Every structure is written in C-alpha cells, then in structure tokens.
Amino acid sequence: MSAVDALAGPATRATARPHRLVSTRLFRSELQLIFGRRRNWAGLAVLAVVPIIIAIAVYYAAPAPGEGPPFLASITSNGLFVALAALTAELPLFLPLAVAAISGDAIAGEANLGTLRYLLTVPVHRSRLLAVKFGAIVVFCFAATLVVAVTGTVIGLILFPAGEVTLLSGTQIGFGASVWRLLLVCGYISICLAALGAIGLFISTLTEQPIGAMIGLATLTITSQILDAVPQLSAIHPYLFTHYWLAFGDLLRDPIATESIGKGLTSAAAYTAVFGALAWARFSGRDVSS
C-alpha cells in the first residue's frame, strides 16, 4: 500500500476541499504508510533489542569504570543509564540506518511503484507533498529515538536501581529531573536525525530506486563519521553533519553546557534548510509523467 491508495478513493471530493484538508489527510496516510509496514516495525524492534541486550549483559557482568562505551559503567548505579548507553551505541549506525530506510523510500519508493504521478493528481502541490513527506520523516525520527530510550528505561529500571542520578558534572538530581534530561537528549538526537532525513529526502528525489537512496545516505553518514575521526581534518569537522551528534552529553551537566548543543542545533537547521531547498528544487522540476 502506498500513500496514493489512501487518497485515490475520495479524490473527486478532495478537489472541492481546501488544500489544507487534503494535506492533513495526506499526512495521516503517510504516517500510516510508514508505521503500517512490517519491515519498519521490524526495524524498530531491532532498535529496541539493543538496550535489552546491553542491560542483560551489564546485569550479569558489570563493566569496570571506563570500560566500554560512555554511560555503560554507570548503569549499575541507575537504570536510566541503560537508555543513554543504548542511544550512544545506536547513534553512529543503527538509528541512521533506520532514518535512511524511511527517507530514502519517501520519493524514490513512490516513483518505483509508479504511484507518484497519480499521487500528484489528488490534487497535491509538489511543495506540499514534499513537506508532508519530510514531516512524516521527522515524526519517525522522534519515534525511533523514543523506542530506544523507553525500552532502555523500562528494562533498566527492572534490572537496576532507580533514584538520584549523578550527572557528568558530579551533581546529583532527582529521578523526575533525570527523566526530563533524558527527554531533552531524545529531542536533541531526533533533531539531528531529522537533518539526516532531509539529506535522505533530497537523495530520494534523485533516483527511482529506494535501495540506492538508502545506501547512498548510509554511505554519506559513515563517510562523515570517518572524516570526523581523522585529527588532521579538524578544520572541516564543525561542518560535518555528524560532528555534533554526541554533544547531547552536555545536557547531562549542571548547569547545561549550551555551546556545543547550540552549534549542533544550528548545524542541523542549516543542513535541513539547504537539503530541503535542494530537494524542493529537484522535485519541483522532476518529470513524473512516465
């Protein structure tokens, strides 16, 4: 089922309704398309499995301080750190792959199925369709991040103690405040992934093969992270879209360190604007008649 299937039935009535209502219905159908596919649910399930594996592994073999990825050694003191450790572990690869699968399929998938030209006759303006597609990608970014965080929190609180959390600055905060900090972390990561989704949406307008768009975005993400790890290329590091992804650690300080967070949000906004504009320029002139 594609987005056009949900709209093709009442298409004649839609022509007499405001475009806003058409876009609202299109947005709902796009979300149903994304969250109605078994493969996307399977991807979310994989994301949810990682924090469970981390929690069980630490439960039976607690790591020494400094051993393993960030936040791993802190799990035994508070179960909320399972969510943070899982987000840190999945951010370099698993979460970007999930976003690549959705954004790469956004336009290329419709073109590959041959439904794109029918979708544009609903009627839906190309700019509005592109905005709806990106809006659905943003929702998925938040959903994927929350799946990891919620699963990690639940399994963490089952296996490990709760209570006050010691921040990276050494300050202790209550459980409620720590949950709020975790939500801020999820919001920041989701915004970074949304910028990645904008890049994927642009790539998706360049091809009719969704798998090609997915691989292209995944390759770009890995390449950016490799370049970010080379000290000799430090001059370009601030301009890489992955450079500030792990800056969410500053949200776990007291007071919150805003410099890197601000730069990360600015970078995400810039990439979203640039690649959103490129996607619009490409899609607005694309021939979808064949």
Q: How confident is the model at residue 204 (pLDDT cuts 50, 70, 90)?
A: very high
Q: Are 52 and 155 in contact (CB under 8 A)?
A: yes
Q: Where are the alpha helices (DSSP H) in 160-256?
A: 175-204, 210-228
Residue in 228, 226, 250, 223 with CA at minimum distance from that of residue 239: 228
Q: Are 189 and 91 in contact (CB under 8 A)?
A: yes
Q: How many CA atoms lie within 13 A of 94 on its CB side?
A: 20
Q: What's the pLDDT at 117?
A: 53
pLDDT for 16-25, tens place per residue? 455 555 568 8
Residue in 6, 42, 43, 12 with CA at minimum distance from that of residue 27: 6
Q: Is pLDDT above 80 for 88? A: yes
Q: Is pLDDT above 70 for 14? A: no
Q: What's the pLDDT at 3?
A: 52
60-69, 119-128, 207-216, 219-228: which range is least confident on average? 119-128
DSSP, res 63:
P
Q: How confident is the model at residue 10 (pLDDT cuts 50, 70, 90)?
A: very low
Residue in 9, 52, 12, 51 with CA at minimum distance from that of residue 29: 9
pLDDT for 162-177, tens place per residue? 888 989 888 999 999 9
pTM for this structure?
Answer: 0.88
Q: What's the pLDDT at 15?
A: 45
pLDDT for 262-274, tens place per residue? 999 999 999 999 9
Q: What's the pLDDT at 251?
A: 96
Question: Would you call 68 helix, strand, or coil by DSSP?
Answer: coil
